[in-house]
Amino acid sequence: MAEYGSANFDRRQYPRLDADIPVAYEVSDQKLPDGITANISLGGLMVLLPHEVHRGDVLELTMRLPTEGEERAFRVRAEVVWAENVQTEGDYICRAGLRFFEMSPKSFQVWKSFLDTWYNK
């Protein structure tokens, strides 16, 4: 039998973009120090946080997105899909993958428009 080596397929539904955008977040109505995104997509993002979160936690996220001409606010509820403690430079101790599950139509349009700008660069 022929050997074909290994393959690593990306199972994500949406392509990821590297981006470092400050993100404010709350867990159980407790506002925590800001984190930063590592990558973003239409359906979620990966963040570096100064506070531990756990799989299944629900976060309220707020980001100020730099767009042409103005800064636009984006708010969304997201579920922690995975989380791990990490040692990074600075104050970040947790890396987590978040899946968006609740956002207003206006926030969706702001987010989609922001991503379209990045995809088309």
pLDDT tens-digit readout, 17-59 = 888 889 999 888 888 888 999 999 989 999 999 988 999 999 9
CB 19 within 8 Å of CB 40: yes
The pLDDT tens digits of the residues spanning 83-103 come to 998 766 677 789 999 999 999
Q: In 18-104, which residue ranges form alpha helices assigned H by DSSP?
A: none
Position 64 scores a pLDDT of 86
Torsion angle, alpha carbons of 57, 60, 65, 71, to 10 = -170
Domains and CATH numbers, the chain: 17-119 (2.40.10.220)
119, 111, 116: which is closest to 43 by C-alpha? 111
Report the C-alpha gap between 94 and 86 in whole angstroms.
5
Contact by Cβ (8 Å): 62, 75: yes
Question: pTM of the entire structure?
Answer: 0.80
